[in-house]
Structures are given as structure tokens and as C-alpha cells.
Amino acid sequence: MRLAVVILNWNGQSLLERYLPGVLEHSRGAEVYVADNASTDNSIDYLKASYPEVKIVCNAENWGFARGYNEALKAVDADLLCLLNSDVEVTPGWLEPVLQFFEDHPEVAIVQPKILDLLKKDHFEYAGAAGGFLDQLGYPFCRGRIFQSLEKDEGQYNEASEIFWATGACMFIRREVFQELGGFDEDYFAHQEEVDLCWRAHNKGHKVYYVPDSHVFHLGGSTLSNMNPKKTYLNFRNSLFSITKNLPRRVAFLIIFCRLLLDGIAALRFVFQLKFKHCIAVLRAHLSFYRRFSSMYSKREKTEFVTKYYATKSIVWSHYVNHIKKYTDLVKH
């Protein structure tokens, strides 16, 4: 299979200087692209001068993650696409296990490697860890990361396994499936668009897998840190978008009502933590969701919805009430 590694960039010259050499060194046989979201720094000049072998796709505006990739990938001709964050350090041999897995499992559409923390390399990283899941109310979490609790990598997730969603920090997807799904939903702008993409893939009968024989290190927070109010806004709003689009109508309405209550509690918790901007971000997320509800509802797929989309009933209850911090403890309950 022809593989293209596509790195989305926005004013990230320093990240390209640090991590692109490793991508080129350890990705022999793949074409490497940089999709630039109208950067105003010297990223493009740097690439042209230092790495003429890298193909550059220039977007007209900063379209965020979703549209940024949708537009750029129109110019990429490959059987398999690797969407890679600019702040990821790849490792020797990172591509071979993934390529072999796709060859051996034609039913698999999307793959994620093991994502480790670049600053603490024996621990999983927030964005993706050992593969993503949802609880019954649509809250995302990962093996190796539940909310802000990150596990040490002790080989507990060293078997290839089916997951529900793969992180956009390093996602491999068959091009034909990406096109079938219509790419990312551009209304998300950034954050959780990969959850929605994988959910839609499941609804169409595709499989998503985690392949730990490939691992990379992710810096994280290069665009928005985990505690940035804008990220809070996008995560809360986009999660509601995904529920509206990807569940049977009656189930979706019930969960949205429950989320209204739980997200309200989350907003109050931010108040008690004196994180007032995050409280406002949650409120703004719900207001934006209600304004866009009709357009989101119109995007519902005319296919069968998967009924088993969740791995646990409530990750919020498990974590904050039962004090569960590890996936391995979660599955015992």
C-alpha cells in the first residue's frame, strides 16, 4: 500500500525543526506532506529551504484540524493516510507493524499506535494513550488515561485490540474509508472530530484498532493545552454534536438531557476550583450546541446505528465517586 504521512501545521516552525527530521528518517518508503493552515511564521520558507523532498499543501486560511485536513488531503494520492501531529516524535520501525496489520486485516479501516508522553516516556499521553472509548453518556476516555489520570506503561496494553476511537494525534486510515465518510465534520473545527469520524465508521460497519507494536511520543498541548478554556468549550460542545449525529433519536435525546445536568455540575465544579473561564466555556458550549442542533440533526446517517458504543456506563461516576484511575480497574467493576 502507498502510504502518505500528512502533518498539519500552523505557525509551528519550531516543532517542524524538532520533529520533522525524525519523521523523514524513520518513514522511508512513505511520502511526507506538510499541510499548512495559512501560517504567518516562516514555516513554508523553512520547509522549502531545508526539506525540498517534503510536499507542501497550502490552505488558504487557518481552517482548524477538521477542514484543514479535509482540504489538504484532496491533494494527497495514497492508499493509506497517516494523520500526524507536528509535535509527535516517531520511533524507528513505527510504520512497519501498522502496514502489516492493515495487510493482514482488510476489515480494519483505522489504526492507532501506542501514544506515550514525550516528557515522561514511561507513561501514556493524554491524547489517545492506548486507544479511545466512550461511556454510555458519550464522555470519551482512554486505556491508560482517564480524565487527568495517566498510567505508567508497564506492558498492560501490549496486545492489538479493537477500540472505539483513535486519536487524531496519530491516526492511520484507509483513504477510501476517509472519502466514504466524507472526511471530518468541519463544524467541529478542532477536538473530538476524530471521535465522530470513528463513530461514523463504526455505524458503517468498519473496525478501529490499536496496534501497540508501533509507538510514538507526543508532546501535547502545542496548539491548546488541556486546561485552556477554548479546549474546554470545544470538547464539551463537540461531544454533544457526536451524540446527536450518531445515536438513535430516542437514545440521543435522553443522553443530551443527562448531559445537560452533568455538564452543569462540571461547570459548578469549575466555579469551586475558581476556574471561572472554564465554567463560562461549558455554558458557551451548550449555547452553541443548541443553536446548531438542527444542522447537526440533519447530518444523521441513514444507516444502522451501533448499539454497543460504550465501554462503561459512567466514567464520571467511576472516576470521581469510585476513585477509579486505571482502565484495568474500570473493567473489573
pLDDT on residue 224 = 57
Confidence of residue 333 (pLDDT cuts 50, 70, 90): low
The 10s digit of each residue's pLDDT in 1-24 is 899 999 999 999 999 999 999 999
Question: Mean pLDDT for the chain?
Answer: 95
Q: What is the mean pLDDT of residues 243-253?
A: 94
Of 143, 117, 140, residue with least CA distance to 210 = 143
pLDDT on residue 226 = 63
How many Å apart are CA 118 and CA 56, to the nearest integer? 26
Q: What is the mean pLDDT of residues 145-168?
A: 97
The 10s digit of each residue's pLDDT in 57-115 is 999 999 999 999 999 999 999 999 999 999 999 999 999 999 999 999 999 999 999 99
- Vertex 258 angle, CA 148 and 197, to 5°: 60
pLDDT on residue 197 = 98
pLDDT above 60 (res 157): yes
Cell 495517566 belongs to residue: 150
pLDDT above 70 (res 230): yes
How is the chain split into domains, by residue range? 3-218, 229-330
The 10s digit of each residue's pLDDT in 128-141 is 999 999 999 999 99
pLDDT on residue 306 = 86
pTM of the model: 0.94
CB burial of 298-324 (b: ≥16 within 10 Å; e: otherwise) equals eebeeeebbeebbbbebbbebbeeeeb
- Vertex 314 angle, CA 309 and 316, to 5°: 130
pLDDT > 90 in the chain, percent:
92
Alpha helices in the chain (DSSP H): 13-25, 43-50, 64-73, 96-104, 175-180, 193-203, 229-246, 249-272, 276-297, 315-320, 327-330
The 10s digit of each residue's pLDDT in 279-329 is 999 999 999 999 999 999 999 877 678 878 999 999 999 999 999 999 999
The 10s digit of each residue's pLDDT in 169-227 is 999 999 999 999 999 999 999 999 999 999 999 999 999 999 999 999 999 865 555 67
pLDDT on residue 36 = 97
pLDDT on residue 275 = 94
CATH T-level assignment (fold) for domain 3-218? Spore Coat Polysaccharide Biosynthesis Protein SpsA; Chain A (3.90.550)
